[in-house]
Structure 1
Amino acid sequence: DELHHSPADEHLKNMCVTCHLGNPKRETGPITNESRGGGCLACHLNYNEADSSLSHLTIDRKNHPDYLKNHPSIDLKVGNNHCFGCHNRSGRISTNYEGWHETLLNPDELPTKHSYRIIDQTRVFTYIQDDVHHKLKMDCIDCHNSYELMGDDTRYAHQEQQVDIACADCHRNKADRTVTYAQLDQESALIAGLRYANIANRVFLTTEKRNKALINTEVRNDTMWMHGKNRDTVYVLRPPNAVCTYGKAHHEVSCNACHSAWAPSCIGCHNAYDENEPGYDMVKNLEKQGSWVEFVGEYNAGLPVLGIRKTASGQEIIPVVPGMVLTIDLASYTKDQHDSLLFKRLFAPAAPHTTAAKGRSCVSCH
């Protein structure tokens, strides 16, 4: 337990860390929308109908030996439901991807003539527009690779830095970065071999950022293809529109800046520590007295604001959302009246996962 007892540490314990994979899975059963953490099981555990019907029997194994007849699978079939439990919060990329935007409605307030979805029994979402890749029935792992999800032996300060893939890795004008099966690293070769047969002669595309093989891609007959990892679907990888790459007018504009149809934003968060509020320590998985409490102003959805991210290699125009429009009442936690309100108005880089084939208009930026 590296977290201690500062206001920030307690905030993490009360609000955040349950999604992290180090949080153990303590209950028998399949991964659902409400699952959090679970280590390897969070992604690789799959139940079939027979497994699920007998899962409750594992509680009393001595008197119900039938549990031995069925066992859930630990496999490579990582579906979107495995991602959803953790990624339907914060940036909400799982709900965004499917086209759902959170509201402040209560379940008993729903109009009858609209498309709504209830998550976690209390959170009400309304449908806006799903990602073009979701329309094509692509899974999260069709894009994201094992090194992003399980690590590449590097400890990154920010989660986004671990992301390796980019739109241009698949949507490019020519297959200029490739490797053969014989050139695959050990991890990629093992996973590719388990997923696909007869790939000894296959040529794979690689990522530009870290030169990792995209094991579900293929270069064949001067055409680039993508194979679905969980289903027998093959997609032609189309090059970007000429306007995206012509000249240098937009060479600093990211693909997401133009092609994100919408992004969620939360306005007016207020955090206060209430010593009488029943709380939960998500590190120790114990109930406790006293907790940070969040109050939300409103949820919005629309074209994302654009910001400039500067790095040592240059600058890039990217989507950003209000990442911290936040007031923390320090005095309510420390009991020191000399501590004042801590106010922050910061924007966070965003990958909305609401890609549209048609980019935003010139007028929306200029």
Structure 2
Amino acid sequence: MTSLRTRLPTVGPGEHRTRLTGVLAAAAALAVSVLGLAGLTLAVVVVQTLDPDGGLPLTASARVAGQLWLLGQGAELQLSSGPVRLAPLAVTAGIAWGLSRAAGSVVSLRQSGTARGAAAVLAVVVAVHVALSAGLVLLVDASDASIALPRAVLGAGVVALVAGGLGVLRDSGLGAELVDRFPGPGRVVLRAVAAGTLALAACCTAVVAVALVHDVAGLARVITGLGGAGAGAAGQVGLSLLLLPNAVAAVMGLAAGPGFLVGAGTFVSTSGVTLGSVPALPLLAALPDTQAVPLLAFLSQALPALAGLVAGAVLGRRLGDDDGGTVIAALWGLVAGLGVGICAGLWVLVAGGRLGDAALAEVGAPALATGLAIAAQAALAAAVAAAVSRWRSRG
């Protein structure tokens, strides 16, 4: 007689392990959204406490935080003045970092070193994050500030897929295996591209800081001209910090040559400046005060070449003994410089957007023109720097 126990389906240790991995991945993705939204809500609440009239209630503050969270992932907020489609890249970077760490930590903890196991973790993280974003749209949607569900879901999926995928590739070891399959010093080139891009971003941030310091009086007028409300001033300063990476992207467009737009009436480039009305945002105090092209704009034209020099120097120093001489280093320097241009172009692409239908319908720099210009300048500089650095390293 066959026992009842032998007839029941059994779950092997492999299936238990898979289920536990899925649960951990879902919990990690949930933690990213919960902690991120809690932090944004707390920041909004703290700002509202400075309002002498009491500010927004907790539910309204949470709604504002949720809208910022969705905007950071490419959602579109439909207001009475028109659509708002400008991602605060500081929020985007925070979400991407959290998802990358969440997916990578689960892969590392569960030792999911196979492509199938890593893909399963990534699929769970993406699915949970998209589902949470869809639910958040339904919660924060209002008659005076509606959010289109398809765009919000698509944006959340792209952010989760890219950020989670990078985390999975990094912590599972599959990324290193993938890079090693390509001919040449793939890891060294990627590090050079990262170094050049970060150097370009740091220099562009310095340009924004210098421009703000140069017009301290204008910055003070903007901050103090908000009706005397501390909540308004703190909120505008906080929003400026969230949009600082967007301003860095605008400076990339300025440094590359095409310039950038702040609506239909304001255009800044090295060939001319057109000024129009802009929002009372402290960050926009960095814009020129006159139609004359500032000296800082001319000096910024050296930044793409400087980024290429950094990329080339890193490349030349890290090449191995079997990676060739100065000529080969120069060729790989060209590749690294092109990579810097691609990264800059993508940065500018996600940093632009629109703030309504009227005068601010277009904000940002042209991504394609900026990326191509930076790639050309950085590639030439990186080739020279890589060759010289390689020659010096070989004695």
Q: TM-score range by the shorter chain?
A: under 0.3
Greater strand fraction, Structure 1 or Structure 2 = 1
Higher relative contact order (CA 8 A, sep 6+): 2
Greater helix fraction, Structure 1 or Structure 2 = 2
Q: TM-score, normalised by structure 1?
A: 0.23
| Structure with max Cα Rg | 2
